[in-house]
Amino acid sequence: MPTQFSTNAQLIAPAAAAGAAITPSGTAWNNSAYAELIASVSAAAVLTGVVIFPTTSVSADFEVDIATGAAGSETVIATLKGRFAGNVAWDTAYTPLPIPIDNIASGARLSARLRKAGTDTNTWRAAITYLLKPIVGTLQVTASPYLVVPSAAALTTLTTGGGTSWVNTTWTTVITSTASAIVLTHVIVPTTSGSDQGGTEFDIGTGSAGSEVVVTTVRRKCRSGEGGPWIIALPSPLDNIASGVRVAVRWRGPQFSTPVVGLIYLAKPL
């Protein structure tokens, strides 16, 4: 793969304004209405990142869809998942897309909607970053939508450790069997108790139970109960997960932590 670069200026929508206001559904994991991000892009465009955050202190897993199309006829081009907990002042709300989405036509309307755990309806805000075409440079893009697991549900709770720090836990299944080969782009790794300021490591593996092979490892450092969305973007997405395989996660680190996990990925072919 060639070096990734572009001389195009990155743009933001909404521009020079607060993010688009989204009112969540009062029912857990039900979709909100779409909030408009931009009425009409001036040229065909490539989606490069998503900003999403609550405007009040909240603890909730969430998903956000970015879509194109007229009101009532939206088509989702990317879904991201994460968690916010406690003081939103600790957040890192921007999530870059390592492989940008090249599926926005000239003149298209862009919008976002939210679904989440819990029943509160306090306002969230969303924005996006994008590049206008033609792209000058060498940039890997795709028209495939970003997908998440678990979908429209709470993040997967991992097996707890045996009380000894930095000893591998047993594996927890995240995907029973992939529907196609996938490219892993993000790993979501909040903590649900304690504080792991010394860091925690997560192995992503494939294979049947007892025969898992590690395909990549990520490390997280955070304070429990503060911030989010705890989405780690892989600078080099992982193209090493075949169709029809089990995907599982194990971890090691401070044993007072009880991690949860989710994955964001692209289905092949890209």
pLDDT tens column, 99-155: 999 999 999 999 999 999 999 999 999 999 999 999 999 999 999 999 999 999 999
Shared domain check, 244 and 125: no
Shared domain check, 235 and 263: yes
Structure tokens at 85: 């907990």
Separation CA 221–CA 198 (nearest Å): 7
Residue 258: per-residue pLDDT: 76
Residue 163: per-residue pLDDT: 72
pLDDT band at 259 (very low <50, low <70, confident <90, very high): confident
Residue 228: per-residue pLDDT: 80
Give the model confidence (pLDDT) of 204-248 as tens digits.
Answer: 999 999 999 999 999 987 655 567 888 999 999 999 999 999 999
Contact 156, 260 (CB under 8 A): yes
Reported pTM: 0.94
Shared domain check, 143 and 250: no
Give the model confidence (pLDDT) of 236-257 as tens digits.
Answer: 999 999 999 999 999 988 766 6
Separation CA 250–CA 172 (nearest Å): 6
Q: Is the pLDDT of residue 51 over 60?
A: yes
120: closest CA among 75, 54, 181, 186?
54
* Furthest-apart CA atoms within the chain: distance in Å: 57
Q: What is the CATH number of the domain that holds 102?
A: 2.60.120
Contact 219, 202 (CB under 8 A): yes
The residue out of 108, 124, 148 marking a domain boundary is 148
Strand partners, 205: 214, 248
Host domain of residue 164: 154-267
Shared domain check, 131 and 173: no
61: closest CA among 223, 232, 192?
192
Shared domain check, 123 and 17: yes
Amino acid at 72: G
